[in-house]
Every structure is written in C-alpha cells, then in structure tokens.
Structure 1
Amino acid sequence: MSGMVRGPSVQADAVHGGIHISTAAPAPPHRPWQLPPAVPLTGRTAETALLEGHRDRAARAGRPVLAAVSGLGGVGKTALALAWLHTLRPDFPGGQLYADLGARSPQGPADPAEVLSGFLRGLGVPPQHVPATVAERAARYRSLTADLRIVVLLDDADTAAQVRPLLPGGRNVTLVTSRRRMSGLTLEGCHHLPLAPLGPEASVELLADTLADDRVAAQPDDAHALAELCAGLPLAVRLVGARLAARPRRRITTMVHALSEEHGRLDALALDGDRSVRAALDLTYQALPDAAARLYRLLGLHPGPEFGSAVAAAVLACGTEPPHTAHDAAAGLLDALYDWNLLLDTGEDRYRFHDLVRLHAAAKAQETDAPEDRTAALRRIADHYLATAMAAEKILDPQHATLPRPFGPGPVVAEDLGDDAEAALDWLERELTNVMALVRSARTAGFPQLSWQLTDAIWPLFPRRKHYDQWRAAHAEGLAAAQELGDRAAECRMLTSGGLGELGRGSHRTALEMFERAARLFAADGDTLGHARTLNYRGLAQQRLGNPAEAAALFARAAAELPACGDHRAGGLARLNAADIALAAGQWERAAEDADAARTTLRAADDAYNAARAATLLGRIRLRQGRPDEAESRLTEALTVLRAMAAGYETARAVEALAELAALRGQPEEARDRYREALDLYTAVNRPESAAAVHDRLRLLDEDAAD
C-alpha cells in the first residue's frame, strides 16, 4: 500500500493491551486585524451615535449587527466606518476582517468566492483546506466566526447579492459601505444609514485639520467660503486642503477664486491627477444604465435647486409616446439615481442634486449630448413650468392671460392641479425659485421670450403672497427680454405688472414712472385701450403718493374710457378704485354707489376675485354708514369667495372688517377671534403695517376687557 498521508496516523499489524492515542488540540483561529488605519473624523457625531444605537438594540435582542452606510463617492463613508469600527476593538477581541468589494473597480466587482477565500485564510485556514465552492466556503466561514467576537468591514459593495455570502456567523458586527442604497439587505435586519455631506462648520473644522496651521483661524470668512464651494464633500475639502498645505504661504482666498468659476470647479478639486471629485463621480456614473445616465446628464441642465418627478418626465418626453409613458419611465429612473445617491430626496416626490454632482451631471451633458439635444431638453423643462403656471393662472385669474405664450416644438408635460386654488397657489410658491432661475437664464439659453412669458404666467402669485423681491426681479428680467425682442405688448405688460409690485413695496414714485412709460408706448402705437388701462394704474400711484384729487380724476377718466374701448371689466376696476378714494374722503354715498356698480360689473365679467374685493369695500362702507346687517352680508359674501381662492391679503381685509363689526355689536370674543385671524393672515402675506394696526386693535380690546 502506498500513498501520501496527511495529519496524525497510526499503522499497525496487531494491537494488544490498553493503548491511548491523542493529538494536540486544534490551534485556535488566527486573529486577523485587517482594518486599514482610521483617519481623523470630523462632524460625524450624530452618525456614529446612530450606529451605536443600532448596535445596542441588536445586543439587547441577541442579534448580529448589520449596518449599511451609503452615499456619494467622497462623502466619507469609509472614514466613518473605520473610525467607528476601530472603537469597537475592546469589545470584539476576535479580530477584524476587511474586504474592498470593488464596486467601481476597472476589473469589476470582487467575486464573493475570492473574498471568502481571503477571509478563511485570515482566520487561519491553510490555503489547501479552503473549500472549492462559494457555498462551502460561506458555511466554513460562518462556522469559524460563530463563536468569535469580530467586526467585518465590506467596503464599496456593489449589490446585496455580493454581500450576503460574506456575512459572518454569531453575534458579530458587519458594516457595509456602498454608493448605492443596500435595500436588498433589509430582510437580513440591516440598518440603513444614508450619509449626507458635512455641515458648514464641520467642513471648516476639517479644512483646519487638513491644513494644520493657523490659516483658517486667520482667514475665517475665506475658510467658510471655501468650505461652501466644496459643498460639504469631505473628499473635496481634503483635496483643497492638501493643495493649500503644500503651499503654506498661499492664502485661502486664492483657492476660493480658483473654485468660484463653476465650470472649472471639478477640475480644481483634484490633487496631482490622483484622487479627485470628478473621478469619484465618474465611477458612479459609469455604473448607470444608459437611460439613467441620460436622465442624470439632462437633469444637470435644470437651473433651479430642486425639482419634481414631472420635470424628469418632461426631460424624457418625446412626441411618439403618450405622456404617462414618460412619467412611468421617469419614476423608475429617478429611483435608480436615488439608489446610487446621485439625487437627494427632499420629500413629496421631489429631488435635488448635491452641488458638485449637479456640476458633474452638466459637464457630462456637455461632453455627451449634442447642443441641439441639450437645448431641446432645457426647453421642455421650461415649457413644463410655463404650462403648469398657466394652468394655475387659469384657476386663479382667468382674465389675466391675454398675451400669447407659444410652447417649444417638444411635447409639453404639465402637472395636474385640478381646480383647487390653494393647490395652484402652493405650486406657484413652491416652484418660484425654479421659475426665477429659468427667467434669469432663458435669454442666454436662446429663448428670451420665456423670461417675460414665465413672469407673466406666475403673476397671480405676486399680489396674493406678496413676494416683492421676486416680483421686482422677474419683471426686470422680463422687461429686458421684451425690449430685446422689440415686443411692445410684452414690454408694456412688464411695465404695468411690475409697477404694481413697486406700489406694493412702497416705491410709489417708481411705479408711477413705469406706468407713465407704458402710457407713452401705448400712445405712440395708437393703442387707445392699452393707454386707457394705464389710467387705472397711474391713479393708484397718485393715490399712494398722497394726491387723491389727481387719483380721482384718473379713475373717472378710466371708468369712462375703458367701457368705450370695450373693456367693461377694467372699467369696473376703475369704479372700485374710485370707491376707495371716496371712502377715504368720507363721501360714503358716492363710495357705496361706485363700489356697488363695480361689484355688479365685475360679477358680470366673471371676475370673482375683484368682485369679492368690491364686496369687501362695500361692506366697509356700510359699516361707516351704520348699516351693520348690510355690511355683514357683503363681507360674508366676499369672505366665502376669497377663502376659496386662497387670497390671503384680501381675506384678511374682509376678516378685519368683520372683527370691527363684531366689536361694534358688543361681541368682544368674536371680535378678538377675527382680529387674531386677520393678524395671522397679514403676517403670512408679509404686510407688517396692516398686522401692526390689527395688533393695536387687539390690545385695545384687551384693555377694555381689563377695565
């Protein structure tokens, strides 16, 4: 008999007597300490506490610890993992296992079989005793770790399927890092921790730690500006810090200037051609399916800070498919981008890019997509906002849309607002920042008419929610675009609508100048109707400037000329404005006559909003006339309409008048409740002077009650 025998053996012909055979006890498993060194961790106290909390809960339940940290490349996932796991060494003396799973490696993700082979060797299994199959290796691995106290770091994982065979046995700690959310590990009891960028102060602290000198303390403003340009990405902060550290005499402001140009910021965030933010993002981008990569690139063209899924549908839309197809496709692709941590979920089906990711997406679009494709995608985005704003306008102020606003050649994807005025206003307010970004960029993007068209379409928001700064800025951009295009009708609209905003913010002289400019343009063009409409606006400016006689004369002219030009609704508005002048002068009968005529005309013109304003004014006049029942009837009528339209300021005026009525009737509790509601409404629509007056009324009521 011949052959090779391994291990203890006995060969005998015959055995007699009591013979004892023993071998040495098996050697204990090796104690591997494979974790890379930890780097100093800044600004992650809350995240570390969350991981510790998960560990405590798992220990109380007798379960193993499994957590997955996900986030952008360069956000500090591995740094957090190493910092936390190294602190656990006293509680886990059995060792530390580490594997780079290479999700974005040029050679492809690591094979779990090879990782398990390395783990088994690290635990003391001789190479020749490593089982052949993945299943056998995983079983042996779990057996060896069942009674150990170890931690395992699976870094840069690709999928949950890659991770599962690598989970140890026993009550050990496993931490997974990945650029995508490991939702597939939920059934294994995984705790998911999305890692957000650092806050401003933590970024500055990290910069100071990287520089290791006094420049941050000596140049705090520049340090904060530099941290802001790095957008909270630790990799970016460390890269710029390393470049500055290599040049100890260079001021921080030099790097601020280098990063301030958006188009070059990603290139500046690199060190000796090695680790860079662009490279980290490129790795994630290369893993995307083609459709998700295209959406990522084209969403990078979106000029605003955040967007809803309908914007993604607009980007994807084409003329050969029904709209719901684009919506369905967008939903799936947005999920993919979110899973890869390229988008942040801001709630209510809305998303935003990290600042540096947006720059990366836009750069990829510049590299990959033809100029005409980029222009068409941006136009579809703009048309989405224009179409939805026009739908809101139709709900809130159907009389306003008198100028044509044609869309671009692509399919138009608009949101469905139903017929809810509150929802329409809320949409306009929520999207105001995005619309303003488009208003500002449309001229340079090649469709300047969108500057004034978008401004005109969102008009109903301004008088209701009083966003005076945006009111002024949008109309300035729209006016410049209209003048550039030589569009006189649009120019006059921007002057009159913008002038009303100047009136609201108290710039009465500026408003009058804008109205008079429009009047001259209308007169030069022979537009008698347009010129007659400016009479109303000029009268309002004169009224606010303290010239009631001039205002009354202009309103009287408008009330006569506008119906003669065919605009009975605007004539009704002139009567309404004249009634306000008469009320202020104590001419109650004349005021009541004008207000009642205005209410009748505006109702006939289906202008419910301004008819309700006329009813409010008529109610206030009846109060002055000592006719409380008529006052209550008109005010209640107005309030019903204005509440339904979510017209905060005008609702407040009606509520305030009803509070005054309650006080006159000796009903202090009702008066107090009404005044409080009016105070809240005035505050919400940024009318501090009206809020202060109501506050004084409330104080007087309380003083009367105390007496």
Structure 2
Amino acid sequence: MAVGRDAGGSAVGLGAVGRGAVDNTVSGGVFEGAFVQAGSIDQVHVHAAPAPAPPPAPLTPRQIRAPRAVFVNRQAEIAALNEALHEALERSADRPVVVTCTGLGGVGKTELVAQWAHQRRERFPDGQLYADLGAVRRAGGVDLGEVLGGFVRALGVREDFIPASLGERANLYRTVTADRRLLVFLDGVEHAAEARALTPSSGLVVAAGRTRLEALVLEGARPVAVGPLSADAGSELVRCWLGEERGSEGELLELVRLCGGLPLALQAVGAQMITRSRMRMGRVVAELAERQRNPEPFSAGEAGAAGGVGGVGSAGPVSAEQAGQAGQAGQVGGREAGVEEAFESVYAHLSDPARELYYVIGTHPGPLFTPELARAAGVRSVEQAVEELLHAHLIDESVDDDSGEDRYRAHDLVRLHARRRAHHAWPPEQRELVLRQIVAFYRDQAAAADRQVLGKRFRLQPAPDAGSVERAPTGRAAALAWLQAERGNLLAVLHTAADRGWHEEVWQLCESLWALYHSRKHFADWIESHRLGVEAAQWEGRADAEIRMRNQLARAHYEMADYPAAQEQLDLAQEKLGLVGDPRLAGVLWESQGLLRLAQSDPEQAVRDFGEALAANAGDPHGLVVQSYNLAQALLAAGRHAEALRVLDGAVAAAEDGADEPMLMRLALVRARVLHATGESAEALAAARDAVAIAAELGQIAKEAQAVELVLELATGSGDTAVREAAETRRRQLRREAGVAPRDDPAPPNPS
C-alpha cells in the first residue's frame, strides 16, 4: 500500500493524526467515493473507495451424495420419509421435524436417504446438509462444534465470523437456519444428544444409525426401520445388474440368503460378476456357502488388531449397546453375517496391486486415503488398484472437500475385513514398515502445509525433504484445505505413532498442526493431540519440544477461556526454560502469559510479560511489530496512554518498512482506541477509518467489521450523523457478506 507523508514525515492516512503533525480529519461519508487527506501538502494520499458491488449469493449446499442408478424395494421407507416431509412443510418455520432411520451396517440406510433426497430436491430450496458422524467420532464422542462449523460455513458464513465455542456456534446455526427449508442428513448417529445438537431451527432432519434412537422417538421423532432386502427384492437388484440370463431363480434366492439380504454384500458380489462375465452364478453361490461352513481361520489377536472392538485406529468404535444389538440382529464377531463371506469372495479375485492397496487400507489408522498416501506406502500401480477396488464396490469416492484432491473411503465393515486380511497376509515387520511410511507421509505433508499457511514462523523441526513433499499443496488456502480434509487421519495417525513410541514424529506433527488448530479452532482435537505431544517430548528428553507443546496447549485452553488450565501449562513450560538456549522459546511463553494476564484483567503484569516477549524477539522485525502491538494493548488497558502511543509510533514505522499491512491495520485499531481514551475523538475517528480502509483492501471483513463498529461508536459519541449512518450501512453490508445477517434484515442500499 502506498503511503503519502506530510512535510514532517508523518504518514498521511495511516494514523498521522495524533502523532503531533496536523489536524487531519474528514467529515461526512467515509465508505464511498474518494477523499483526500493531506497535511502541509508535499504528497497527497488519495483514498479511493469505489462503491462496493453486492456480494455474490452463497452457493446452495447440496452435500448429500448422488444416488446410485439401481434401487429396489424401499417403498415403505420412502413413504414414511414423504410423510415426514409433508409434516415439515405444514409446520413451515414452527419447528423442525426429525426422522430416525436405523438398521444394520450395510443394509442401505445412506443409499435410501440419498435416493429420497434426490427425488425431493426441489422441496429443499435452501439446501441439503450432510455429516458423517462416524468420520469425526473420537474415542466414542463427536466434535459437535466442528460439525456445526462446517454447516454454517456451507450456509455462507465467513470463516472469521464463526465463533470458537460450541454454544456460540449452536446459536449461530439456529440463527442462520431460521425460516429455511433445509434437509439435514446426519449419518452414523449413535446417541440422541448428537442429533439434538445438530438440529436446525426449521426443516427436516434424518438421523441414521445402527442403534435404535428411542430417546428421539420419545421426543416426537418419526422412526423408520430399514431391514435387509427380501429374497425377491434382492433377486431383483441382482437381476438389474447382471441381466436375466445369469443364474437361475433358485441360485439368485440362495445368493441373497447367503449375503444376508444386505445390499453392501450383494454389491460386492455383483460387481465381481460384472467384471468377470464368464463367472457362473452357481460357482459364486457354492463358494459363499463353503466360506460360511469353513470361514478363514483368523486368530483372535488378528481380529482385535483389526479393530473389531473399536478404539483409535479401528474400523470404527463399537459401543456396548451396538454389540448387544449386533448379536440380536445376526452380527457375528463385530460383523454382519454374510458380509464377511462376500468380501472374501471378492478378495480372492483381486490383482496383486489391488491387494496391496487393500492391505494399506487395512493398516492405515485413518478413515480416508488418497493416491499419494498409497504411493508413499509402497503400493504399485496405484491408479489401477484404485479403479479395481472402486469397481468391486470395496471403496467409494469421499464427499467433496475444498482441497481438490481425490479421496476415498471404505465402509467400516470393509475396513474391518481389510485389517483382518492385512494381518493375515503381512508379517508384523511388514505392517510396521507400512505404518512407518504412513506416519512419515503425514508428518512431512503437514510440515509442508504448515509452512504454506504460516510462512516463516519459528519452528523446532527442520523443513521436510523436498522429494517427500513435491506434490504437497501450494498456497495458503490449498494447504489449509488439505489440513482440514485430512483432520481425522492426522489425529488417528498421531495416536498410532504415540502407541508405538514414535515420539519424534508425534511432537513434530503436533507442532505443524498449529496451522490448522489455530485457524479452525478444533479445540477437542487440539487438546487431545497436544497432550500426546507433551508426553512424546518428555519421552524424547526434548525440553525445547515440551515447551513448544505446552505453549500450544496453553493457547487452546486460553481461547476456551479455561485460564487455570492455560496457566498450569505455562508454569510447567517455564520450569524447562533453564534447559534451553533459544530466546525465542522464552518469547512465545511470555507472549502467551501476557495474553492470559490481559484476559484476566491484570494489565500491569501483561505489560511486563509483553516487554519480555519484545526483548526476546530482538532481530525478528515481524516479531517486534507483533509484540509491540500486544504491548500497546496492555498499556491501553493499564491507562498508560502516552506510553502506548510511543510504542505504536515505533511499531507503525517498522510495519511500514516491512510492508506489513495486516499489522498496520491492527495498529491503527489500537491507536484509535488509545486516542478515544484520551478524549481526542476526531483523531481517533481518523485512525479507525484508516483501519477500515486497510482491512477492506486486504479483504479481511472480520477485522473490517471490528473497525466499523469502532467508527460507529466514535461517530455516535461525537454526534457525526453522516459518518454514523455510513457506518451503519457498511455494518449491515458486512454482516450480509459474512452470512450472519438475519434473513429478514433488508439489504442496505447500494451507494450511487
């Protein structure tokens, strides 16, 4: 940004007023047209603020996957969903309608809802939201705040306007869904509380899961039970795939029986027969029957390692309630009867590359994989292997994300079978090697993403080898999208590495995850991962890494306003400072300590802490500006206004020299508040307008909204009606751009 200067050398338009040069104010509209600010005119700074175009309307979310072409025998379930829709439309904006959709794994609940949602798409003009709770379930619980964040983001709320706390996100979700005709599909629900927290203000909710959600039914939800396909319906489904000439009616009926009437098992067998057109139905039926009579002798240890009882890195947590229902419904050993044999039949005909990929899926701790991960794990002919598993219906393409990468996932029953197969086919040392490769892949990719998101911030770990990250995403947005998309994998990999004592990889991965957690506020993951990071650093005897881990953990507690927990981590980190020599480690602790003191209304101690942080950042221009900004805020809170202005003067000069425009905007905001506190209203208003202009140019609408609020407050106090009205108009515009304006809030007029 070009900055003009007056004859005395003061920056015109960037907080010059109040620095002793001139009275340099403008009255009237500040958000439209162009105006000139100048002191003793040597150079002139022109603020050009063209009339803003109305923001583009957010895309209507259509997150439920497209249905498959063949679908049979669900008329009763479709009718029940239609009745619920009719009730929802009758209620309009009164309150939402909830439907529970429950049945065995692999019975086709997701496909049923996808088919129905596609047929009734026009009835939900405000969109369809989808969340797979199984993919974000950690140790039996779901990070509901993250799901809510994803929902409001999909509904057009800008990232900077999404609050951190679960309660505030729930309030925002209810606000933005009021009076909307939405369909919300919650897949993998285990507990009624999960569906309650994710229910919008209006519309229709479908909560699907394997457990019977009686609590929701008692509260008025409509139950829809999805059972296995009947023999006739299963035969019809197979006929749709294979045609009339493949197999007799008796063979078809026996095939359906052997597959337990589960579409997942029938799809796997049907895909195998489509690929191998000469394979006879009688042979497939005989093979399945033989496998049921004489199952593969997996050991108990292999089944446990394969994740049949849940836990991190398993094929999916299984609750005691589920285990009981599994027994009642014909599930055997954590699986549905008939599915295992179907997968075995398909597995027997896989090529070597497809089997390699299948073993990697069974070894990988996380729920998703990419071709890049498969290559890193040593799979040959990855594209061929992926296509083969897709055609076999053993994997599916994942729900679209913003990262632009191809991601695939396997049904949890497929993952369970793949884990058993990997443990049977690979010796322990081979599985350990592949796990090492998977962990190294995520460590290096996360480190590369961290550098794209946060640039040259202070890090303990070295940069990853260029060869290991040559296909890593480039650019801040792409890197952050990659971290977000891989979030579930990253936490699962962390647990796996911690379980195996790979301590260096654990703390290094945690250090890189700051880029994700600080940006997206995944507090549950943040705290869980960094507890592992602290333990890993202690095992390694790395005092510097322990300080780093505890500081990052303290910041999570600080942002959640759990100040005692934050202070505990900082105190423990301070005890290790005598064991390290890098002053930057002390600097990060002093900064966190200052933020904590400021939040606890102890500004004098915060001044001392930020002063220490400032000294520790000597030689780091950006660090000096940041700590000066923090120090100025503490001085303001302490009522030491003259000192705050002196600190700001030095920081502005340094930020201008470094072309650090984001910090110039923040410094202008603090200057406005200091000047307001000293009663210099006109100068404060000028500084606040500078902050608005810089934030607008940078496209930081959350910061611009803060600056506009300050302008509004100052203009109201000074009685400047024109500025106040312009600020009110811009505030409404920003709220609409951010997606948080009430739906009945009229759009502000566009400036002519």
Query: Under a length normalisation based on structure 2, what TM-score does the superposition of the two structures give?
Result: 0.53
Q: Does residue 557 of structure 2 align to residue 557 of structure 1?
A: no
Residues 372 and 596 from structure 1, CA distance in 2 versus in 1: closer, same or farther, beyond 3 angstroms?
A: farther
Residues 508 and 222 from structure 1, CA distance in 2 versus in 1: closer, same or farther, beyond 3 angstroms?
A: closer
Question: Whole-Å Cα distance in 1 between the matches of residues 268 and 488 of structure 2?
Answer: 41
Question: Whole-Å Cα distance in 2 between the matches of residues 423 and 573 of structure 1?
Answer: 26
- 1:597 equivalent among 645, 650, 654: 650
Residues 678 and 552 from structure 1, CA distance in 2 versus in 1: closer, same or farther, beyond 3 angstroms?
A: farther
| Aligned equivalent of 1:295 | 357
Question: Whole-Å Cα distance in 2 between the matches of residues 432 and 155 of structure 1?
Answer: 33
Q: Does residue 586 of structure 2 align to residue 531 of structure 1?
A: yes
| Aligned equivalent of 2:410 | 353
Q: CA deviation at 1:289?
A: 0.6
Question: Whole-Å Cα distance in 1 between the matches of residues 705 and 526 of structure 2?
Answer: 21
Question: Whole-Å Cα distance in 2 between the matches of residues 51 and 587 of structure 1?
Answer: 65
- 1:239 equivalent among 324, 330, 336: 330
Q: Does residue 542 of structure 2 align to residue 490 of structure 1?
A: no
CA contact (8 A) 2:665 2:690 kept: no
Q: Does residue 377 of structure 2 align to residue 315 of structure 1?
A: yes
Residues 333 and 649 from structure 1, CA distance in 2 versus in 1: closer, same or farther, beyond 3 angstroms?
A: farther
| Aligned equivalent of 2:384 | 332
CA contact (8 A) 2:534 2:549 kept: yes
| Aligned equivalent of 1:571 | 624
Identity over the aligned pairs, expressed in percent? 25
Question: Whole-Å Cα distance in 2 between the matches of residues 45 and 459 of structure 1?
Answer: 37
| Aligned equivalent of 1:396 | 453
Gaps of 5+ in 1: 1-37, 55-74, 89-95, 105-152, 167-175, 180-220, 231-235, 244-258, 260-264, 270-274, 318-325, 684-693, 703-707
Question: Whole-Å Cα distance in 2 between the matches of residues 154 and 529 of structure 1?
Answer: 56
CA contact (8 A) 1:536 1:555 kept: yes
Q: Does residue 82 of structure 2 align to residue 82 of structure 1?
A: no
Amino acid at match of 2:474: G
| Aligned equivalent of 2:422 | 365
Residues 561 and 358 from structure 1, CA distance in 2 versus in 1: closer, same or farther, beyond 3 angstroms?
A: closer
Q: CA deviation at 1:507?
A: 1.4
- SS, match of residue 300 in structure 1: helix
CA contact (8 A) 2:272 2:392 kept: no
Amino acid at match of 1:376: L
- Greater RCO, 1 or 2 (C-alpha within 8 Å, sep 6+): 2
| Aligned equivalent of 1:426 | 481
Query: Under a length normalisation based on structure 1, what TM-score does the superposition of the two structures give?
Result: 0.56
Q: CA deviation at 1:362?
A: 1.6
Q: CA deviation at 1:406?
A: 7.2
| Aligned equivalent of 1:508 | 563
Alignment of 1:138-537 (within 5 A): 156=270, 158-160=272-274, 223-224=321-322, 226-227=324-325, 238-240=329-331, 265=334, 277-316=339-378, 329-348=381-400, 349-405=406-462, 412=468, 415-419=471-475, 421-525=476-580, 528-537=583-592
Question: Whole-Å Cα distance in 2 between the matches of residues 311 and 505 of structure 1?
Answer: 34
Question: Whole-Å Cα distance in 2 between the matches of residues 160 and 604 of structure 1?
Answer: 68
Question: Whole-Å Cα distance in 2 between the matches of residues 316 and 154 of structure 1?
Answer: 26
Alignment of 1:20-39 (within 5 A): none
Question: Whole-Å Cα distance in 1 between the matches of residues 572 and 393 of structure 2?
Answer: 52
Gaps of 5+ in 2: 1-73, 78-102, 119-225, 240-246, 256-266, 288-318, 401-405, 748-752
Question: Whole-Å Cα distance in 2 between the matches of residues 406 and 103 of structure 1?
Answer: 59
Q: CA deviation at 1:674?
A: 2.8
CA contact (8 A) 1:443 1:481 kept: yes
Question: Whole-Å Cα distance in 1 between the matches of residues 277 and 359 of structure 2?
Answer: 30
Q: CA deviation at 1:463?
A: 2.4
- SS, match of residue 575 in structure 2: helix
Q: Does residue 600 of structure 2 align to residue 548 of structure 1?
A: no
Q: CA deviation at 1:392?
A: 2.4
Amino acid at match of 2:431: R
Deviations along 1:197-246, one digit per CA (max 9) or x if unpaired, are xxxxxxxxxxxxxxxxxxxxxxxx9655545xx5xxxxx87423xx8xxx
- 2:689 equivalent among 628, 632, 641: 632
Q: CA deviation at 1:460?
A: 1.9
Residues 441 and 641 from structure 1, CA distance in 2 versus in 1: closer, same or farther, beyond 3 angstroms?
A: farther
| Aligned equivalent of 1:584 | 637
| Aligned equivalent of 2:725 | 668
Question: Whole-Å Cα distance in 2 between the matches of residues 507 and 53 of structure 1?
Answer: 42
| Aligned equivalent of 1:141 | none
Deviations along 1:79-138, one digit per CA (max 9) or x if unpaired, are 46536859x9xxxxxxx952648999xxxxxxxxxxxxxxxxxxxxxxxxxxxxxxxxxx
- SS, match of residue 648 in structure 2: helix
Residues 466 and 449 from structure 1, CA distance in 2 versus in 1: closer, same or farther, beyond 3 angstroms?
A: same
Q: CA deviation at 1:556?
A: 2.4
- SS, match of residue 341 in structure 1: coil
Q: CA deviation at 1:155?
A: 8.3
- How many residues in Structure 1 have an aligned counterpart in Structure 2? 471
Question: Whole-Å Cα distance in 1 between the matches of residues 346 and 320 of structure 2?
Answer: 31
Question: Whole-Å Cα distance in 2 between the matches of residues 530 and 53 of structure 1?
Answer: 53
Alignment of 1:111-150 (within 5 A): none
Range with greater deviation from structure 2 (475-484 or 610-619): 610-619
Q: Which is richer in helix?
A: 1
CA contact (8 A) 1:616 1:634 kept: yes
In terms of Rg, which structure is larger? 1
- SS, match of residue 316 in structure 1: coil
Deviations along 1:328-375, one digit per CA (max 9) or x if unpaired, are x32331121111111122234222121121122122111212333322
CA contact (8 A) 1:304 1:438 kept: yes
CA contact (8 A) 2:483 2:516 kept: yes
Question: Whole-Å Cα distance in 1 between the matches of residues 438 and 251 of structure 2?
Answer: 40
Amino acid at match of 1:239: G
CA contact (8 A) 2:668 2:688 kept: no
Q: CA deviation at 1:478?
A: 0.5
CA contact (8 A) 1:596 1:615 kept: no
CA contact (8 A) 1:101 1:158 kept: no
CA contact (8 A) 2:543 2:579 kept: no
